[in-house]
A and B are shown apart, each in its own frame.
Chain A
Amino acid sequence: MGVVGMNERNTRIIGALNPRSLYPLVDNKLKTKLLAAEKGVATPALIGAVKTQHDLKKLSEFLAPHDGFAIKPAKGSGGKGILVIASQRKDTFIKPNGQELLIDDVRRHISNILSGLFSLGGAPDVAVVEALVRPDSMYENLSVEGVPDIRIIVYRGFPIMAMMRLSTRESDGKANLHQGAVGVGLTISGGRAVNAVQFNRTIREHPDSGADLMSIHIPGWAALLELGARSADATGLGYIGADIVIDRDRGPLLLELNARPGLAIQIANGVGLAFRIRDVDAIRSQFFRESAHQRVMRAMTMFD
């Protein structure tokens, strides 16, 4: 059945293809953004970074010109510590669920980020502030609170598996599958839904909105895969998970990269990664040197 287990992922795939020295590029969102800008990979606009507690004094002037934004810990993982502000009005900041925050609340959240509350091992961190992604209206019924994102696994430059992650009321707006988000497996060939799961159980409709999940079809699919492949090229990592969102004005944007992408994507697709990895390994070596566009085209013919 070709399912890749945790041990195989850690020893044969990550251990063999992802050099440790490249991890900081993806584990630090600020570095990822700067790298993406350098390589021409589109990301949500960077408003700025808060690096020291001292910067917090000028926070209100800094945030004033921007209506909606997201504050993220640069070294956070699993969506921890992300604060999304949908709009602001005078002194209050409004979260997507309508909850209102004061400038002091925002300041305290950033202060927590700086002291390492959300980073791995509690290391001191910086807060990245970026422009809010405005999802296309077609995704309105699909995701509660959060913006749906698309995870693409890129193996040695070839996109081999993809899924869309939809937050639910049960997952509290988070896009992590083990917290109750819905995973919808997408075909590499055309971005169409093949299967959907929540808590390891197959479902056909969104548990909150009842939207039909099997009719999901992502427009501009090739461009999306290409963005994923180009992000992988930029980092030099051989096995990577690229998280991409679709902005209604700017199109696909790279949200973040993951050097140790989880294995739940196999469950969402109802198929294992091992056969696809084997197929890529069997490709003639000169094809690995082709452009991202050509590799995506090849992958779209190789995999469903």
Chain B
Amino acid sequence: MNKSAQSSRFSLFALVGLLSVLGLGQSIHRHIVYDIPWVPGTEKSIWSIEASIQFFGRGDPVSVNLRRPSDQAGFAVLDESGASPGYGLSFVDHIGLPTAQWSIREATGQQTLYYRAEVLQRDTEDFDEEPPPRLQSRSWEEPYATAVEAVLDQAFSMSADPFSLTRQLISQFRATDLAQNEQLLIDEVGEQNLTNLLADMLQSRDIPATTVYGLLLEDGRRRQRLKPLLRVWSDERSEVFKFGLSAVEARLPVLLWQPTRGFVLDVTGGTGSDLTFSMIRSEFTSYGQVAAALGEGDDFLGFSIHTLPIEEQAMFKTILLLPIGALVVCLLRIFVGLSTSGTFMPVLIALAFIETSLLTGLVGFLLVVAVGLMIRSYMSHLNLLLVARISAVIITVITIIALFSVFSYRIGLTEGLKITFFPMIILSWTVERMSILWEEEGWREVAIQGSGSLLTAVLAYLAMTNPWVRHLSFNFIGLQFVALALIMLLGSYSGYRLLELRRFKPIVNSVK
């Protein structure tokens, strides 16, 4: 080893040391000064929720009313704010309901208004229960009236109170094999209006019920919409029924945005209005910290992503996980010697797995690649030029994904729809590379690289979904420097890879 190599090695170690000290120092500072815990807690989470209203102004005076969430079972609203250049904003009670009201004399073109609420998730009962809404009766024409009566009679006979009646009705409508009456009613109102239908049916038996709108709270989600839910009252109590949700969605906490009958968004003077939500969760160790964080004036060392708008924060929650994925890839390639198809393709696949859940993702991935390979092997007979061929593969992959989505939706698997989260260009390159590998080196090499890629993707997925890793990577930006230092250290490792020990075994044997 010559001198220049030694000095470059020294400067590498110096840089690695510096980065580690910097990263750890910033993290410890954040821990001590802002009291951010090292491990994720569940007790005091604050959800920062940002509602984004978009509409198109036609040059007329505009008035926008957005329903605001109020204290409710499981949640307390701590702080509210709004952003909207040029608009007057006030928090008022509009027709008796808490509302954020924006107004402007003239608005032209695309308009975006923001409403932001900090909501504490807690387990108290300290709030005013929403009174039951007034009954609104509704009548049905024949033959629907008879069907409604029959369905209600059946459910009534198998239940004891309004809540069990509702549960029975839901199970009758959600049965895999629908009875004739239920089928008739669903065909009439449409699957998406089932909540309204159930509310109307319950009211016809003098049970106060209505469709309410709630937000499913999942850390780091963007562009979410409110879900219609069924709320039923009995005496002073009420219950919210979630249905039509996937198993994963059903476990999420729900913040009722519109807890009883009323409106969510009302735009006067604009067209094409749209409402989407972004949200993010933060953990705090004490209520004092909560208060401090809300009125936070950030100094330089407290520099954090938490000062960005919620939508960008939610995006960074994912972006900050990428170094973890890269670290896993480095470990597996440098220490183990796994061969993968495309160096960082597994990380992107792992990101897709986060969206789709592991099993759906694995099945979807294997399906797309397998079908893609078959079609691609036919294409190799056509002798197309490279760029055209890959473009053709991209279109093929999109077609496979579209067909798979439609097919799985038809047979009732909403999970299948999530396959659209896959990075399609990356998948196309995977198909192309594997196909060439198959032709040149045979199926065995394809199997080795394919399983290497999947194994890497699964391990990266496990690392990136680990709650502790997520908590640390988002709350302690300094740790990114530590990851960088680790990766640089790995880059200078010159020892054997695990799989090489087997590869070079013949030499060891021959020396003996």
Contacts and interface: CB of A to CB of B under 8 A. Distances in A.
Interface of A: 1, 3, 5-8, 11-12, 16, 80, 108, 112, 115-117, 122, 178-179, 195, 197, 200-202, 266-267, 270-272, 281
A11 B494 contact: yes
Contacts of A115: 385-387
Contacts of B300: none
B506 A1 contact: no
A116 B504 CA distance: 34
B410 interface: no
- B-side binding surface: helix, strand, loop or mixed? helix
A104 to B, nearest CB: 11
- Of the listed residues A5, A197, A270, A272, the one surrounded by the most CB atoms of chain B closer than 10 A to its CB is A5
Interface string B287-301: 000000000000000
A6 B511 contact: no
A3 B495 contact: no
Interface string B466-508: 0000000000000000000000000111111100100111111
18 contacts: A3-B496, A3-B500, A3-B504, A5-B495, A6-B497, A7-B495, A7-B497, A8-B496, A11-B492, A11-B494, A112-B383, A115-B385, A117-B386, A179-B441, A202-B510, A266-B504, A267-B504, A271-B511
Contacts of B506: 197, 200-202, 267, 270
A8 B497 CA distance: 10
B440 interface: yes
The 10 closest A-B pairs by CB, nearest first: A270-B510, A8-B494, A5-B496, A3-B504, A11-B494, A115-B385, A5-B500, A7-B494, A122-B386, A12-B494
A6 B5 contact: no
Nearest to B493: A7
Contacts of A112: 383
Q: In which size bucket is the chain B interface?
A: 20 to 34
- Of the listed residues A3, A197, A267, A271, the one surrounded by the most CB atoms of chain B closer than 10 A to its CB is A3
Interface string B307-344: 00000000000000000000000000010010000000
Given A1-B504, A117-B386, 6 more contacts: A3-B504, A3-B507, A12-B494, A16-B5, A270-B507, A270-B511
B1 interface: yes
B511 A1 contact: yes
Nearest to A112: B383
B492 A108 contact: no
Contacts of A281: 1
B497 A1 contact: no
B510 A195 contact: yes
Nearest to B508: A1
A108 to B, nearest CB: 6
Contacts of A116: 386
A200 B504 CA distance: 8
Contacts of A108: 383
Contacts of A179: 441
Contacts of B2: 16
Contacts of B497: 5-7
B381 to A, nearest CB: 12
Contact of A267 (B386, B494, B507): B507
B437 to A, nearest CB: 11
A243 to B, nearest CB: 19
Contacts of B386: 115-117, 122
Contacts of A266: 504, 507
Contacts of B493: 7, 11
Contacts of A3: 496, 500, 504, 507-508
A290 B386 CA distance: 48
Nearest to B500: A5
A285 B441 CA distance: 44
Given A12-B494, A112-B383, A115-B386, A6 B500 contact: yes
A7 B507 contact: no
A11 B5 CA distance: 10
B385 A6 contact: no
A108 B337 CA distance: 37
Nearest to B494: A8
Contacts of B337: 6
Interface in B54-84: none
Interface in B178-203: none
Interface string B4-17: 01000000000000
Nearest to A13: B494
A162 to B, nearest CB: 16
- Of the listed residues B440, B441, B493, B497, the one surrounded by the most CB atoms of chain A closer than 10 A to its CB is B440
A271 B500 contact: no
A197 B440 CA distance: 22
Nearest to B503: A200
B219 to A, nearest CB: 38
A8 B511 contact: no
B440 A80 contact: yes
A266 to B, nearest CB: 6
Contacts of A12: 1, 5, 494
A270 B512 CA distance: 11
